[in-house]
Amino acid sequence: MKEAVYSRNEEFLSRLAQLALRAGRVVLDVYATEFAVSNKADNSPVTEADERAETVILAGLRDIAPEIPVIAEEECAAGRMPEIGERFFLVDPLDGTREFLARNGEFTVNIALIENGIPTVGVVHAPALGLLYAGRPGHAFKAKVQDGALVGEAAIAVRSAASCLQVVGSRSHGSPETAEWLKRFSGHSFVSAGSSLKFCLLAEGVADLYPRHGRTMEWDTAAGDAVLRAAGGAVVTLDGTPLRYGKRHQANDSDFANPYFVAFGDPALAAGVARLPDATAS
């Protein structure tokens, strides 16, 4: 496959989706057992599902695009971070480990291609929910997963912002800063969701806004960000700058750590919010 056409190639996206499905089956195999849990150096939980799914994804990406380096969560936790260039993969084999432990189904397998700092291709698979979201420039879709295959594939797109905004936020990582930031809106409804599914709710037009005032890493957000951008949305930092990827040697944070950000369905909403006064300012 020619490098120049990765983000425009339907076969490439299809192969990433199939790879996510294979990893999802491994995750569900562990989910059905009484699995053990350990903690990484940052005290975040990790299970056999994280590790086994990442092994499947890394092997699959070597087959699909061996020339593209991969930044994967568990590899990074073990200190294995290859040099990256303009193009690389970001992998979170099990986003929402706390949701996995709570057995609420809201965990995902995430694979994204980054090109020049932008997530251009992404797949988000929620194996316990039987759903898969995927996107590349100009095309985003949602499909059900039945018997290991995609069925009912349908194009998705963001919606125009509702008069009463539907805000989606983290089920396991809420913050007082997010609650304060939302005070700038006179009225909104709020729903919690786990993992990168929050981006997907915006991408399919059932929510408007996802503010995140809490720590995330690039592998947490890249696949969902790619799906949302493909569906017509945007993800920006609190100063309105598009969220970028491949952040290494940061003066005030670790490699691949994200700043706080806000994801929008309607890009016009992003522009409007930038002009709103901060309701928390004194």
Q: Which residues are annotated as a binding site for Mg(2+)?
A: 73, 92, 94-95, 220
Binding-site residues for substrate, in ranges, read: 73, 94-97, 220
Helices assigned H by DSSP within 108-205: 176-181, 197-203
Rg (CA), the chain: 18
Residue reference for tokens 């070597």: 62
What is the C-alpha separation between 47 and 38, in angstroms, rounded?
6
C-alpha 50/C-alpha 96 separation (Å) is 10
d(CA 168, CA 27): 25
Binding-site entries: 73, 92, 94-97, 220
210 DSSP β-pair partners: 263
Within a 10 A sphere around the Cβ of 162, how many other Cβ atoms? 16
Q: Which secondary-structure segment (H or E) carries 54?
A: helix 48-64
Angle between helices 10-31 and 48-64 (to 10 degrees): 160
Tell me the pairing of strands 149-155 and 131-136. Answer: unpaired
